[in-house]
Structure 1
Amino acid sequence: MQLIDDDLDLSAYLQEPEDAHKIRKASDWAEDVINDFWRPKEAPKAGLGFGKTRHDFEIRRGEVTLWAGINGHGKSQFVGQVVLNQLRDGQKVCMASLEMPPLRTMSRMSRQAFGNDRPTPDFVRKFHRWTDGKLWLYDHVGACRTETMIAIIRYAADAFGVDQFVVDNLTKVVDGEDNYNAQKDFVNRLCMVAHDTGVHIHLVAHVRKGKSENDQPGKFDVKGAGSITDLVDNVFIVWRNKAKEEAIRSGDLRHDRNEPDTVLQLEKQRNGETEGDYRFWFHPAALQYLETTSDTAHQLQMNMAEGMAV
């Protein structure tokens, strides 16, 4: 894991490239179209890293995915596990966790990687060595100007060749949930920089609280401008089953413990054919999201030979 300093000179990345919207002949895409039709179902691709979503969703280059959920429902934590899956599968990722310092980010990811709440010192050191050349963190907590965030993404793509970039979250870049024009402008620029660089951008955002946290929200409940979900390519909603948690705490034996702890809702996929819900069970000690009730927390398998290049 490497840090991108907050005082980095980004002047070279603050301007949009002149050839951002260059015109190319249609035949340039022939091989890509053939691959789109004929690539084997089992061919390597970047997915979320879960078996149940393997054939339904692909993290495609140049797209923007919105991860939304009610505050406290675990969306950032879920994205953290997805990032671990990406690193395991050979992707390079940069994270801008604007609500949490790098220490907290890496502590949580170390716990998820270890599969328990007390990762050993040796494991932590090995895990951090393994992330070198795979994972970068933007060393900044708090508000971030739109221009700076766009420049950081361009810099990470150019300097480190990252495949994916996480912006967590929208409210730290655009202040005020009713600042609709600024939100639309920022998300539109995210889509442009994703297209220009080929980086897949993950944007974390909040949804409005409804009458009850027990009601599952949808894409129309995302806080801010309605254009946010229109502009992005994919929309996921992370919902935490707090009714189940409360029933278990209160000893309500009538509650079905086989109900999922978390539901991941794929609400939009512009370039895919699948939408729907995926059920997960949460392991509190490991902070891991498991795919079935019989799954157990697991430790990340690290090939150290792949994790040392910078």
Structure 2
Amino acid sequence: MQLIKDDIDFNAYREEPETHKVRPASDFLAETIAAFYPPAGASLPPRPLWDKTNGKIAFRPGEVSLWAGINGHGKSMFMSQIEIDLMTQGEKVLSLSFEMLPVRQMQRMARQAYANDQPPIDFLNRFHAWTTGKLWMYDHNGSIKWEKVMAVMRYAQEKFGITQFVIDSLMKCVKGETDYDAQKDFVNELCAFAQARKVHIHLVHHIRKGEDEDRIPGKFDAKGAGAITDMVDNVFIVWRNKKAERGDAKDPKAPTAMLRCDKQRNGEWEGMLGFWFHPESMQYLERIDGMPMRYELSNARH
């Protein structure tokens, strides 16, 4: 893991460089053919490594995914496990978490990678070494102007070749929940950045408070401007089934967490998948009788 300090001068990265974007449609022939008939050996876009998501969810270059959920329902925890999955597939990840210090992020991620709540010091040493060249963290906690976030992302993409950005969360980057114009401007810039740089952006967001937590929310429950879910490419909802956790669910085998895909612009699947949260490892398991998986760091693709 490498830290990007907050004292770097990002002024040179505050504007996206202008390029000539008007091109004849015929210029896109090769890309169109490849979309229909991928060449032999072409790499597939990275994805979550759960078997049940294979063929359903992918993190394609040029897209923005919104990860929404009720406060305390595990959306950041879910993303943490996905970040490890992305690194094992050769992706370069930048975490811009304005709600959790880097040491807390690494503590959680180490538990997930080790599949236990007490990773030994030897594993911590190997895990941190393994993240070198794979994981960067922006060392800033608390509110931040969205224009600076964009500058940091441009800097990191140009300097380190970042391919996956995780921003936690949208509301830390704008002044207030009702500043809809700033929210739309920020998300619009994220979409333009992802498309121009051929990277994927994961944007963590909050859900409006409802009457209770027992209903699985949808994309229309996202806080702030309604245009947010219109602009992004994918919308995922992470929901914690507290009744199942307490043993009060009608079905004793009900999942303790649900992943709901409410939108996938360039994918064919939308729907819901059930998971079981394993507290010791902080992993989300695919089956009620599943066991947490220890990540094989030495076998991960560089």
Distance 1:258 1:304 in 2: 34
- Of 271, 294, 309, which residue of structure 1 is paired with 2:266? 271
Given the alignment of the two structures, is residue 22 of structure 1 paired with residue 17 of structure 2, yes or no? no
Match of 1:55 in 2: 55
* Aligned counterparts of 1:257 and 1:32: Cα–Cα separation in 2: 49
Shift of 1:243: 1.2
Paired letter, 1:220: F
How much does 1:82 deviate? Answer: 0.6
Alignment of 1:109-148 (within 5 A): 109-148=109-148
Is the contact between residue 14 and residue 150 of structure 2 (CA under 8 Å) also seen in structure 1? yes
Output the CA distance in 2 between the equivalents of 1:6 and 1:150. 13
Per-residue deviation, 1:29: 2.4
**Deviation per residue, 1:124-167 (Å, 9 max, x gap):** 11000000000000000001111100011111110110111010
Q: CA RMSD in A?
A: 1.8
CA separation in 2, counterparts of 1:26 and 1:272?
Answer: 23
Give the TM-score normalised by the residue count of structure 2: 0.95
- AA partner of residue 277 (structure 1): M
Once the two structures are superposed, the pairs formed by residues 6-21 of structure 1 within 5 Å of their partners are: 6-19=6-19
The residue that corresponds to 2:278 in the other structure is: 283
Q: 2:287 aligns with which of 288, 292, 296?
A: 292
Conserved 8 A contact 2:45-2:61: no
Distance 2:54 2:27 in 1: 29
Equivalence for 1:85: 85
TM-score, normalising length: structure 1: 0.93
CA shift for structure 1 position 298: 1.2
Deviation (angstroms), 1:43: 5.4
Counterpart code for 1:77: M
- SS state of the match for residue 303, structure 1? helix
Determine the C-alpha separation between the residues in 2 that align with 1:41 and 1:226. Answer: 40
Contact 1:110 1:127 in 2 (8 A): yes
Structure 1 residue 27 displacement after superposition = 3.0
1:166 maps to a residue whose letter is: V
**How far 1:28 moved relative to its partner?**
3.1
Aligned counterparts of 1:160 and 1:258: Cα–Cα separation in 2: 45
1:41–1:55: 8 Å Cα contact kept in structure 2?
A: no
Q: Distance in 2 between matches of 1:245 and 1:292?
A: 15
* Residue 306 (structure 1) shift: 5.6
Shift of 1:41: 11
Aligned-partner Cα distance in 2 for 1:202–1:215: 24
Output the amino acid matched with 2:45.
K
Q: 1:294 to 1:30 in 2, by over 3 A?
A: farther
**2-structure distance, mates of 1:280, 1:132:** 30
Unaligned stretches of 5+ residues in structure 2:
none
3-state SS of 1:268 partner: strand
Q: Say whether the 8 Å CA contact 2:218–2:262 is kept in structure 1.
A: yes
Deviates more, 1:220-229 or 1:294-303: 294-303
Gap runs ≥5 in structure 1: none
1:40-72 deviations in Å (ceiling 9; x for gaps): 899533112221111012211111000000000
C-alpha contact (below 8 Å) 2:88/2:301 kept by paired residues? no
Contact 2:99 2:169 in 1 (8 A): yes
Q: How many angstroms apart in 2 are the aligned matches of 1:43 and 1:149?
A: 30
C-alpha separation in 2, matches of 1:3 and 1:303: 23
Query: How far is the alpha carbon of 1:26 from its aligned partner?
Result: 2.3
